Amino acid sequence: MSADKSERPERRRAPAALRLQQIVPSLTVGDIEASLAWYRDILGFHIREKWEHDGKVMGASLVAGTAHLMLGQDDWAKGRDRAKGEGFRLYLNMSRSVDELAAGIESRGGTLDAQPEDMPWGARTFSIVDPDGFKITFSTAT
């Protein structure tokens, strides 16, 4: 059975000029070593690569599954009191149980911002905030 055009939901077509395969967020952090330890030891990311300048770590590429995240040391050019993480949240979808991940994070010393809960759209989520105030929500894939 075919519906005429007026009954079909409109589908948005991707712009021909922009065809992305991946997006990799880069977060500017206040203490790169502390942030690397937190993302590695609390959340479970793996450090893929570190970048140094004059013997100091200035950035890193992290990986978890097929997802990538970059961290960069703040150079403080915009002041040491600059707020980080305001108005920004990372949503990380996964197939693993969010309850198991949340329990593991807590057992490794992490503090959840929101406990695992079922969402009206069918996902199960929990949230955490990194040392610089970046908000992260882990979610089951829907």
pLDDT per residue as tens, the chain (142 positions): 444 555 555 566 665 788 888 899 999 999 999 999 999 999 999 999 999 999 999 999 999 999 999 999 999 999 988 888 888 999 999 988 999 999 999 999 999 999 999 999 999 999 999 999 999 999 996 5
Q: What architecture is domain 24-75+86-140?
A: Roll (3.10)
Looking at residue 38, the DSSP 8-state letter turns out to be: I
Query: Cα torsion for 139, 96, 120, 125, to the nearest 10°?
Result: -40
Predicted structure pTM score: 0.84
Residue 69 phi, psi (nearest 5): -145, 140
The DSSP code for 15 is P
